[in-house]
């Protein structure tokens, strides 16, 4: 490809809409252009990168026995209604009606439609296991699409669905995909961690892992153990209850005024009491139910854990001040568990019973109770791990200190069990002629998101640094002065030789200053760059520059094609190992 013929409109200035580095660089490098909020057009170089990731994904899926299909983007409502997710998915689902009034959606995911397919085609245990995958657009009406390809309303995914005879078969399929995903992201040149995670709206009763690309700009927090292999999303990470060491406070329960002190920090300062001795009391509303949540004052509630512990609400949020007033007769900030109505359910974090004497709201304006004893002065109906984990806490596997990092989710694997096959009656007949439910798993890779994650992890002040495996082209040839006949002809000759050697090469044949060409080359992140200049040609050499290290070496013109071919082959082979 010649740059003069390439649709690659690079930008010098950072577009105002771009907030994170991948979005900025993809726009500046001419890889994408915005069509609408959360919806992007892929330009030629951006599409080449996407196709390379698709190729890696297909190779790894096929190697594990996956069969590629293509499911419809527009899905009928009926299978979604059978599973109950038509209502659960809420406003994120794009919904529409045809001219006959029949309801459809633009697929945010494809569990229902693929299970509907299988229930109509699978009859015998001899047809299982089955691994079906597709590479398909997905649509979710994000409330606030942002960060370019990181959080869009239209995005590209690979989703595979496994259908097995039993849990043992599911475990085999899950392990296959776990291994395949590890190879996919390694081949893409990414540093990543598989972490335990929450299943979210996909659901299922089995385990799930997210594959997180580690990057400072990551929107998710993960904790990991530097000693063992434990790693988890903070929404999922197991918290060990820690007793409060300070138990110096003694005395009878008493109510004291706390004017103007309604937050944990304000009460702690006003009463000169450590936050570890304060009780955080929060009134929550899940759908049409109201309940009281208790945890230590220095902890933060984990709403994912809370929702899972209580069975999963469609809507879970802090109760409004009006609901707090009508339920407990006070304003938020003075809520406490003592003397509350008997029909108000109380759920507590595992650390609450370990608090000796504590301070809590008195359910009266500007009043708090001191010297409150759990289970003596108030009831706890249920206890769960309800809090967010913190860096430095003990690993639940080996007790080493956990460390925290930021991550970008690029893939997730789920053990669904029979959640969808039961709802949709996807069954098979076993060896004894007995009808059984298929046991399912689902496995997704965000292909468009992987592009953004690769940039977030691999860039410098000059632009993108691509791995050889997913770079739009392997090598760029830059004739420093197109008016110099020897320079121009040598560049053309090297370009032809590289193409004949099977190297993906680009020739920057524009009549531009060398500095402009070099800046574009670094911005676009081509792994190798050949600078053809009159000074080096005088000795029969050209410059070979490595984008990742910034190092440059002189290479004989006669050997250039062979050397570049070797570098490319070596880099690609290392990722396949």
SS (H, E, C) 237-282: CCCCCCCCCCCCCCCCCEEEECCCCCCHHHHHHHHCCCHHHEEEEE
Residue among 188, 219, 179 nearest 19 (CA):
219
Is it the case that residue 202 has pLDDT exceeding 60? no
CA distances from 53 to 20, 157, 183, 428 (A): 22, 11, 12, 35
Which class for 404: exposed (0-12), middle (13-18), buried (19 or more C-beta within 10 A)? middle
Tokens standing for residue 155: 């995005």
Task: Give yes or no: residues 323 and 448 share one domain.
Answer: no
Q: Is residue 249 one of the residues assigned to a domain? A: no
**Which residues are CB-contacts of 504 (< 8 A; sequence separation ≥ 6)?**
471, 473, 474, 475
Residue where a domain stops, chosen among 343, 365, 384: 384
pLDDT digits (tens, 9 = 90+) for 437-477: 999 999 999 999 999 999 999 999 999 999 999 999 999 99
pLDDT at 226: 87
Residue linked to tokens 């490319």: 568
**Which residues are CB-contacts of 54 (< 8 A; sequence separation ≥ 6)?**
135, 158, 447
Side-chain-facing half-sphere of 401: CA atoms under 13 Å: 3
Q: Is residue 351 one of the residues assigned to a domain? A: yes
Per-residue pLDDT band for 90 (boundaries 50, 70, 90) equals confident
Handedness of CA 74, 76, 79, 85 (dihedral sign): positive
From the CA atom positions of the chain, what is the Rg in Å? Answer: 29
pLDDT at 379: 94
Q: What is the CATH classification number for the domain harbouring 333?
A: 3.90.960.10
Q: Is residue 60 one of the residues assigned to a domain? A: yes
**Strand partners of residue 348:** 294, 383
How many CB atoms are closer than 10 A to CB 15?
13
Task: Give yes or no: residues 171 and 98 share one domain.
Answer: yes
How many CB atoms are closer than 10 A to CB 446?
25
Task: Give yes or no: residues 42 and 86 share one domain.
Answer: yes
pLDDT at 399: 87
How many CB atoms are closer than 10 A to CB 261?
18
Percent of the chain scored above 70 by pLDDT?
98
Task: Give yes or no: residues 62 and 19 share one domain.
Answer: yes
pLDDT digits (tens, 9 = 90+) for 499-544: 999 999 999 999 999 999 999 999 999 999 999 999 999 999 999 9
pLDDT at 204: 53
Per-residue pLDDT band for 346 (boundaries 50, 70, 90) equals very high
Is it the case that residue 567 has pLDDT exceeding 90? yes
Q: Is residue 133 one of the residues assigned to a domain? A: yes
What gap in Å lies between CA 542 and CA 555, rounded to an integer? Answer: 5
Residues comprising the chain, all counted: 577
Angle at 125 between CA 123 and CA 130, to 5 degrees: 90
Angle, in degrees to the nearest 10, between helices 44-63 and 167-187: 140
Residue among 237, 403, 407 nearest 305 (CA):
237
Task: Give yes or no: residues 276 and 302 share one domain.
Answer: yes
Task: Give yes or no: residues 275 and 338 share one domain.
Answer: yes
* 38 conformational bin, left if phi > 0, alpha if psi -120 to 50, beta if neither: left
pTM of structure? 0.85
As for how many domains the chain has, the answer is 3
Q: What is the CATH classification number for the domain harbouring 55?
A: 3.30.930.10
The answer to whether 17 touches 134, Cβ cutoff 8 Å, is no
CA distances from 398 to 259, 351, 442 (A): 46, 20, 30
Task: Give yes or no: residues 159 and 66 share one domain.
Answer: yes
Q: Is residue 244 one of the residues assigned to a domain? A: no
Tokens standing for residue 390: 């913190």
Task: Give yes or no: residues 325 and 444 share one domain.
Answer: no
Task: Give yes or no: residues 64 and 164 share one domain.
Answer: yes
Task: Give yes or no: residues 442 and 483 share one domain.
Answer: no
Task: Give 458-489 as a DSSP string.
Answer: SEETTEE---TTT-S-SEEEEES-TT-HHHHH
Q: Is residue 465 one of the residues assigned to a domain? A: no
Tokens standing for residue 413: 């694997």
Tokens standing for residue 243: 């007793």
Across 153-174, b (16+ Cβ under 10 Å) vs e yields bbbbbbbbbbbbbeeebbbebb
Dihedral over alpha carbons 213, 218, 219, 223 (to 10 degrees): 70
Range 378-391 average pLDDT:
93
Handedness of CA 445, 447, 449, 453 (dihedral sign): positive
pLDDT at 344: 95
Full residue range of the structural domain in which residue 490 is found: 473-576
Q: Is residue 21 one of the residues assigned to a domain? A: yes
Element (H, E) at 421: helix 419-424
């Amino acid at each position: 490809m010649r740059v003069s013929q390439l649709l690659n409109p690079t930008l010098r200035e950072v577009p105002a809409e771009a907030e994170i580095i991948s979005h900025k660089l993809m726009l500046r490098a001419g890889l994408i252009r915005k069509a609408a909020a959360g919806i992007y057009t892929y330009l030629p170089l951006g599409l080449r990168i996407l196709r390379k990731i698709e190729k890696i994904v297909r190779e790894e899926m096929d190697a594990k026995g996956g069969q590629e299909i293509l499911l419809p983007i527009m899905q009928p409502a009926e299978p979604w209604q059978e599973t109950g997710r038509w209502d659960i998915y809420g406003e994120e689902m794009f919904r529409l009606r045809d001219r006959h009034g029949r309801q459809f959606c633009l697929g945010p995911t494809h569990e229902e439609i693929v299970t509907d397919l299988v229930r109509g085609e699978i009859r015998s245990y001899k047809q299982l296991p089955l691994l079906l995958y597709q590479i398909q657009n997905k649509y979710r009406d994000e409330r606030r699409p942002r960060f370019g390809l990181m959080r869009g309303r239209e995005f590209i995914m690979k989703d595979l669905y496994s259908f097995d005879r039993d849990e043992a078969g599911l475990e085999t399929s899950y392990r296959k995909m776990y291994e395949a995903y590890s190879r996919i992201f390694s081949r893409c040149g990414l540093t990543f961690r598989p972490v335990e995670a929450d299943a979210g709206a996909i659901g299922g009763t089995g385990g799930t892992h997210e594959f997180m690309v580690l990057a400072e700009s990551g929107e998710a927090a993960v904790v990991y153990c530097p000693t063992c292999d434990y790693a988890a999303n903070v929404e999922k990470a197991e918290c060990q209850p820690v007793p409060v060491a300070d138990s110096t406070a003694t005395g009878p329960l008493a109510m004291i005024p706390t004017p103007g002190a309604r937050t944990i920090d304000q009460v702690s300062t006003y009463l000169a009491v450590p936050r570890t001795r304060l009780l955080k009391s929060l009134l929550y509303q899940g759908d049409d139910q109201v309940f009281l949540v208790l945890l230590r004052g220095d902890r933060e509630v984990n709403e994912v854990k809370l929702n899972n512990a209580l069975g999963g609400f469609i809507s879970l949020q802090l109760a409004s001040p009006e609901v707090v007033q009508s339920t407990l007769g006070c304003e938020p900030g003075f809520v406490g568990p003592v003397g509350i109505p008997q029909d108000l359910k109380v759920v507590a974090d595992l650390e609450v019973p370990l608090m000796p004497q504590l301070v809590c709201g008195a359910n009266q304006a500007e009043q708090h109770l001191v010297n409150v004893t759990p289970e003596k002065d108030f009831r706890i109906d249920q206890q769960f791990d309800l809090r967010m984990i913190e860096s430095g806490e003990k690993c639940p596997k080996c007790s080493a200190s956990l460390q925290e990092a930021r991550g970008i989710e690029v893939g997730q694997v789920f053990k669904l069990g029979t959640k969808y096959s039961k709802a949709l009656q996807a069954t098979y007949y076993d060896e004894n002629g007995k009808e059984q439910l298929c046991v399912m798993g689902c496995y997704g890779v965000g292909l468009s998101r992987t592009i953004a994650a690769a940039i977030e992890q691999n860039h410098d002040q000059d632009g993108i640094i691509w791995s050889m495996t997913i770079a739009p082209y392997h090598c760029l040839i830059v004739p420093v002065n197109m008016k110099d006949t020897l320079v121009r002809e040598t560049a053309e000759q090297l370009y032809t030789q590289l193409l004949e050697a099977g190297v993906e090469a680009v020739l920057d044949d524009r009549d531009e200053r060398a500095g402009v060409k070099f800046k574009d080359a670094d911005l676009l992140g081509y792994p190798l760059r050949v600078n053809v200049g009159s000074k080096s040609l005088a000795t029969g050499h050209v410059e070979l520059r490595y984008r990742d290290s910034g190092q440059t070496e002189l290479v004989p013109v006669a050997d250039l094609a062979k050397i570049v071919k070797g570098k490319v082959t070596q880099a690609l082979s290392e990722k396949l190992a």
